[in-house]
């Protein structure tokens, strides 16, 4: 069943009719999801949280291309995220570009920075690269802070966009973001299966062996950074729009690390894992504190936390549980959520054996 | 294969239905016969966690109000959520407040970035924002917004008034500015420059520091060389302490003056080892040990409900920021809607609670506090009030 007879079969998106049907069903589900959320508050979600999850998923995919597929590390993706956000807003506000032009421009400017950051990455590895990228992320926000052009520390207000004359709300952004996300996910899936993706994976597994096989390290390493930054830049532009206001203080080192956590928890080297990781961590980050509303257990936890930790109350517990979930996933399933998926699938297929 | 898929679909559908809870329709969002729902987002974790005490202070206030029987037969249900000072999270919580829980209004919501991310969303959904942002930036009053009732004194006007106080009351002719290079610090600088421009004077020196700077010796030297007799200090507590230490080291002792954000006298005295004494503070709220009857009552509440909290400036100012909301609810009466609340708030004229400065809201102007007063830090860390209320805004 899994025998491939030509290269084109391997990059085919829908390998069987079952997958095709499920994919279409999934797209339909994405289409009606806002209504479900609005009518039933599925899992306590709002459309805005869906948007945020999708945006984080785009960043996680971009970062996974770099970390999971090419084996490089970046702790500065909040920098690319900020570049995307600020350039999108500036192109729309200052030079009145429409969104569908401003957003790709932001993506390309971000990927240009990715290319530049990719150059030192040629000589740096592991922890050294981590520190270099960390520095990049922090210096970007510092530069933005000091340039009045970017609004300085006061920040910029994102423009109000109109769709056929009506101001865009979360639900409109949902469809814009979702269409972009679906296209970019397909793009990433294809990229990984083709020559470029295979070169990335070869570099990850052993860069010396890859070079010996004729993979141009300079080209592919910088390309990986650029592609990763492109995804993050686009996501940053969308983030600025749904938030309505951006200032450099919002793009912290913690944010970069949170992106990395999404990739690791989701599963290194897996596009679907990135999406799952982004969804899980974004959701937990926002929703864990709802525990305090549960009768009896909630107040007990708050009291416990205030007595033994600090007056902040439930947040202490939420932070600990959040960290604990991350540790447990990485400990018991090194492949992350994607690993769970594979195991479940295998279990399902071979049931009842 | 098909059968198995069908089972899966059924399971998914079942799960989806089990997880749902339909919302009941009500007439005014966040108001029932017995309750008013008020939300608050404040950083309890992350870099700005210290400001989280403000949000908890408001909680104390509402506890006290509820035990007194609530307002017009309704208790206040206060929902405090931690946004970690991340704007994206603030907005996520905001959508939860509006779309799922259904709140009547919010109080506080510390920070410019977090506040700005929800300002327009709350406005579209007619959420009342009282004491919004907890900061004296102009984002809350420009452009004019009917739903926002900020109270904090504007930094620009505060700095301008302080400069005037130096020139006119203390007869100090050479004034310099030391500010932190961010929006907060720059508003201090702008205030000083506005006064000097009006009077045709010149600031003798403007020295700025980055938030991350830890060595302020050259800054202190620059101030000394300028020969300034008075220095307007618009920075965070750490920088205030560092600068005073450096100035003392080189034997430079000008008259310092600073904003209301640095008004925790005992704290500043302890971190500067006594150098803070003599500081002129803009001090618009009641002192922590004030004999104001309301402050006495709040301290009793503090002892009764939350004795583990430190009665610091942040914590009790949380109490004070909730006052205008309670006053508005009282005035609006039993028939509570966003419209009646706004109308009621806009009847407030020169109203005085423990918050100190008189509060006025009019249909065209929602800047609550327009006055401050100046106080001097005493060697024991307490505040000696020097002036009566001074009108600083318009």
Interface of B with A in 154-183 (CB under 8 A): 181-183
Contacts of A5 (CB under 8 A, 6+ apart): none
Is ipTM over 0.95? Answer: no
Q: Is B76 inside a domain boundary?
A: yes
Q: Say which DSSP state A150 is in.
A: G
For chain B, what is the mean pLDDT? Answer: 88
Instruction: Give the domain CATH number at B212.
Output: 3.40.50.2300
Separation CA A237–CA A159 (nearest Å): 12
Q: Do A286 and B20 touch (CB under 8 A)?
A: no
* DSSP codes joined into one string, A216-247: -HHHHHHHHHHHHHHHHHHHHHHHHHHHSEE-
Band (B381; pLDDT cuts 50, 70, 90): confident
Separation CA A229–CA A108 (nearest Å): 8
State the pTM of this model: 0.87
Q: Is B293 inside a domain boundary?
A: yes
Q: Does residue B16 belong to the interface with chain A, where contact is any CB pair within 8 Å?
A: yes
Separation CA B51–CA B67 (nearest Å): 26
B140 and B51 belong to one structural domain? yes
Q: Does residue B362 belong to the interface with chain A, where contact is any CB pair within 8 Å?
A: no
End-to-end C-alpha distance for chain B, whole angstroms: 76
Separation CA B9–CA B4 (nearest Å): 9
B88 and B142 belong to one structural domain? yes
- Does the pLDDT value for residue B24 go beyond 50? no
Q: Do A41 and B21 touch (CB under 8 A)?
A: yes
From chain B, pick out residues whose CB is under 8 angstroms from the CB of A314.
82
Q: Does residue A285 belong to the interface with chain B, where contact is any CB pair within 8 Å?
A: yes
- Considering only CB atoms, A315 lies closest to which of B20, B45, B47, namely B45
A302-325: pLDDT as tens digits:
888 888 877 777 888 888 888 999
Q: What is the CATH number of domain A46-350?
A: 1.10.3470
B176 and B117 belong to one structural domain? no
* CA nearest to A111, candidates A222, A10, A33: A222
From chain A, pick out residues whose CB is under 8 angstroms from the CB of B23.
41
B123-159: pLDDT as tens digits:
999 999 999 988 888 889 888 999 999 999 999 999 9
- Considering only CB atoms, B117 lies closest to which of A245, A306, A316, namely A245
B164 and B222 belong to one structural domain? yes
The residues spanned by each domain of chain A are 15-45, 46-350
pLDDT above 70 coverage of chain B, percent = 93
Tokens of B149: 């009732």
H or E element: which one contains B346? none
Domain that holds residue B126: 35-153+289-363
Q: Which residues of B337-364 are buried (b: 16+ CB within 10 A; e: fewer)?
A: ebebbbebbbebeebebbbbbbbbbeee
* CA nearest to B361, candidates B328, B316, B319, B321: B328
> What is residue A215's three-state secondary structure?
coil
End-to-end C-alpha distance for chain A, whole angstroms: 20
B204 and B342 belong to one structural domain? no
Q: Do A311 and B16 touch (CB under 8 A)?
A: no
What pLDDT score was predicted for residue B20?
A: 46
What count of CB pairs under 8 Å joins A to B?
Answer: 109
Separation CA B71–CA B31 (nearest Å): 12
What sections of chain A are H helices per DSSP? 7-11, 17-40, 47-64, 77-93, 99-121, 126-146, 170-193, 195-205, 207-212, 217-243, 253-266, 271-287, 297-308, 314-332, 336-350
B213 and B311 belong to one structural domain? no
Q: Do A130 and A77 touch, CB atoms closer than 8 A?
A: no
What pLDDT score was predicted for residue B289?
A: 84
Q: How many domains does chain B have?
A: 2
Band (A351; pLDDT cuts 50, 70, 90): confident
Q: Do B34 and B73 touch, CB atoms closer than 8 A?
A: yes
Torsion of CA B375, B379, B381, B383, to 10 degrees: -20
* CA nearest to B126, candidates B336, B282, B291, B310: B336
């Amino acid at each position: 069943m899994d025998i491939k007879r030509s290269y084109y079969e391997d990059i085919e998106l829908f390998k069987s009719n079952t997958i095709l049907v499920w994919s279409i069903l999934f797209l339909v589900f994405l289409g009606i999801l806002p209504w479900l959320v609005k009518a039933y508050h599925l899992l306590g979600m709002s459309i805005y949280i869906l948007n945020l999850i999708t945006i984080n998923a785009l960043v996680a995919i971009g970062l996974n291309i770099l970390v999971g597929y090419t084996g490089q590390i970046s702790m500065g993706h909040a920098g690319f995220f900020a570049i995307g956000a600020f350039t999108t807003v500036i192109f729309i506000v200052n030079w009145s570009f429409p969104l569908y032009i401003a957003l790709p421009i932001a993506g390309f400017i971000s990927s240009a920075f990715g290319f530049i950051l990719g150059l030192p990455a040629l000589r740096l590895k592991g922890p050294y690269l981590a520190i270099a990228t960390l520095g990049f992320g922090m210096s970007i926000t510092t530069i933005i802070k000091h340039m009045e052009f970017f609004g300085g520390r006061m920040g910029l207000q994102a423009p109000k966009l109109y769709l056929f004359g009506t101001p865009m709300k979360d639900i409109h952004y949902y469809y814009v973001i979702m269409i972009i996300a679906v296209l970019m996910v397909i793009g990433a899936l294809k990229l990984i299966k083709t020559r470029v993706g295979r070169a990335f994976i070869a570099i990850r597994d052993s860069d010396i062996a890859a070079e010996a096989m004729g993979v141009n390290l300079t080209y592919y390493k910088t390309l990986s950074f650029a592609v990763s930054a492109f995804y993050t830049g686009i996501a940053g532009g969308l983030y600025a729009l749904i938030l309505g206001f951006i200032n450099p203080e919002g793009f912290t080192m913690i944010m970069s690390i949170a992106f990395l956590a999404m990739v690791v928890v989701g599963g290194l080297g897996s596009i679907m894992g990135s999406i799952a990781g982004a969804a899980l961590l974004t959701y937990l980050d926002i929703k864990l504190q709802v525990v305090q509303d549960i009768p009896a257990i909630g107040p007990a936890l708050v009291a416990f936390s205030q007595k033994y930790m600090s007056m902040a109350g439930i947040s202490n517990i939420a932070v600990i549980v959040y960290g604990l979930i991350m540790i447990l996933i990485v400990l018991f399933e090194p492949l992350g959520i994607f690993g769970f998926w594979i195991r479940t699938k295998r279990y399902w297929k071979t049931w009842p054996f | 294969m098909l059968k198995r898929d069908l089972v899966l679909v059924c399971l998914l559908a079942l799960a989806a239905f089990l997880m749902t809870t339909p919302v009941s329709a009500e007439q005014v969002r966040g108001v029932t016969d017995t309750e008013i729902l008020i939300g608050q987002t404040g950083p309890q974790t992350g870099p700005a966690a210290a400001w989280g005490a403000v949000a908890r202070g408001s909680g104390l206030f509402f506890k006290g109000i509820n035990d007194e029987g609530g307002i017009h037969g309704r208790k206040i249900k206060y929902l405090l959520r931690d946004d970690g000072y991340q704007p994206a999270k603030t907005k996520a919580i905001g959508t939860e407040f509006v779309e799922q829980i259904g709140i009547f209004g919010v109080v506080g919501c510390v920070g410019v970035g977090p506040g700005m991310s929800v300002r327009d969303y709350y406005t579209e959904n007619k959420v009342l924002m009282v004491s919004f942002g907890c900061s004296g930036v102009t984002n809350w009053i420009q452009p004019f917004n009917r739903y926002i009732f900020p109270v904090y004194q504007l930094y620009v006007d505060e700095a301008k008034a302080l400069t005037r106080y130096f020139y006119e009351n203390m007869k100090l002719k050479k004034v310099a500015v030391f500010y932190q290079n961010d929006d907060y610090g720059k508003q201090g600088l702008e205030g000083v420059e506005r006064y000097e421009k009006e009077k045709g004077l010149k600031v003798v020196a403007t020295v700025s520091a980055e938030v991350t700077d830890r060595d302020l010796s050259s800054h202190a030297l620059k101030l000394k060389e300028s020969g300034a007799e008075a220095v307007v200090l618009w920075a965070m507590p750490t920088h205030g302490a560092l600068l005073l230490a450096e100035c003392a080291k080189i034997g430079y002792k000008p008259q310092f003056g600073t904003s209301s954000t640095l008004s925790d006298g005992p704290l500043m005295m302890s971190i500067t080892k006594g150098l803070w004494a003599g500081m002129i503070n803009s001090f618009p709220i009641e002192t922590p040990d004030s004999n104001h009857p309301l402050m006495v009552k709040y301290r009793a509440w503090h002892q009764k409900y939350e004795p583990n909290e430190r009665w610091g400036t942040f914590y009790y100012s949380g109490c004070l920021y909730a006052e205008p909301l309670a006053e508005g609810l009282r005035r609006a009466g039993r028939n509570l809607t966003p419209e009646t609340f706004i109308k009621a708030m806009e009847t407030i004229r020169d109203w005085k609670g423990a918050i100190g400065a008189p509060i006025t809201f009019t249909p065209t102007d929602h800047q609550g506090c327009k006055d401050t007063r100046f106080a001097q830090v005493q060697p024991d860390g307490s505040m000696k009030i020097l002036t009566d209320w001074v009108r600083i805004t318009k």
